[in-house]
Amino acid sequence: MNHGKPVFELHPNERRVQALASADPRMGRLIALIGSLATKPQGPLFTELARSIISQQISVKAASTIRGRVIELAGELSPAALLAQSDTDLRAAGLSASKVAYLKDLSDKVRSGQIDLDRLQEHNDEEVIEKLVSIKGIGRWSAEMFLIFALGREHVVSYGDAGLQRAAKWVYDMEERADRKYLQQAATRWPSYGSIASLYLWESINRGHVDSGETFSERLNGVQID
C-alpha cells in the first residue's frame, strides 16, 4: 500500500460519502456538520501492529516515549530487529513482560511466514481478523482498527468500541439501553460504508460535538454548516 498518505480522505461531495448520506439522512447531517476529514498516514503494516501492541492500556504520551526507546534499542520496528533484542533489554525500554511476549510472537509469526502481511489484502475482513487475533495481544478490536486505518477497508463497524456507541446514541437521539447496543441500531442504515460512518462518529467526539451538552439537533442549529 502507499504509505505516508492517509488511507481515507473524505469529502462531503465524494461518491461514497454521498451514498452514505443519501441512505442515512441523519448521518448526512453529521457529515455536513463535520465536512472533510482524513485519517493519519500509516507506516508499514508490521510497524502498525507493533505500535498497536505497545500502545495498549497506556496513554498516548507514554506509548510514544516507550516506542521511541524500543526503536532506539532495536534500530527499527521489524521482526528481525525485535527478535534480536533480549527480553531484559526490551523490559528496560519500558515494555511490560506481556508486551515483550506479544511483540516477540508477532515478530516470530511474521518472520516465519505464518502470517504474510503483504497478502492480507487478498482476504476478506473476517479472514484478516481471524489471522490477526492468532497473534498474542491482538484482539478483535485491534484487528478491526487495523482493517480500517491500515488496510482501508470500507465496511468495518467495531461494535465493541465504546466511543462509537456513545456517538451513535447522541447522533441518533436514542433512548437509554441496558445493553448499550446503540451502534447495532444505527449501523443497519449504512450501505457498505460502515468504516466511513465510524470515522464521522469518532470525529464528532474529537471535535467536541458529542460532549457539548447539546442534543444533535441543537448542535446543528447552533453551528454554521458550509
Q: Which amino acid, one-letter code, is at 31?
A: I
Three-state DSSP class for residue 203: helix
Give catalytic residues, as residue numbers.
161
Using alpha carbons, select from 73, 67, 66 the residue that is nearest to residue 47: 67
Q: For residue 89, how many other CB atoms are within 10 A of its CB?
A: 14
Tell me the residue length of the chain. Answer: 226
- As to burial, measured by CB atoms within 10 angstroms (0-12 exposed, 13-18 middle, 19+ buried), residue 149 is buried
R_g of the chain, CA atoms, integer Å:
19
Do the beta carbons of residue 191 and residue 224 sit within 8 Å? no
- Taking the C-alpha atoms of residue 142 and residue 102, their distance in angstroms, rounded to an integer, is 13
Using alpha carbons, select from 34, 111, 29, 54 the residue that is nearest to residue 78: 111
Dihedral Cα 101, 106, 112, 118, nearest 10 deg: -170
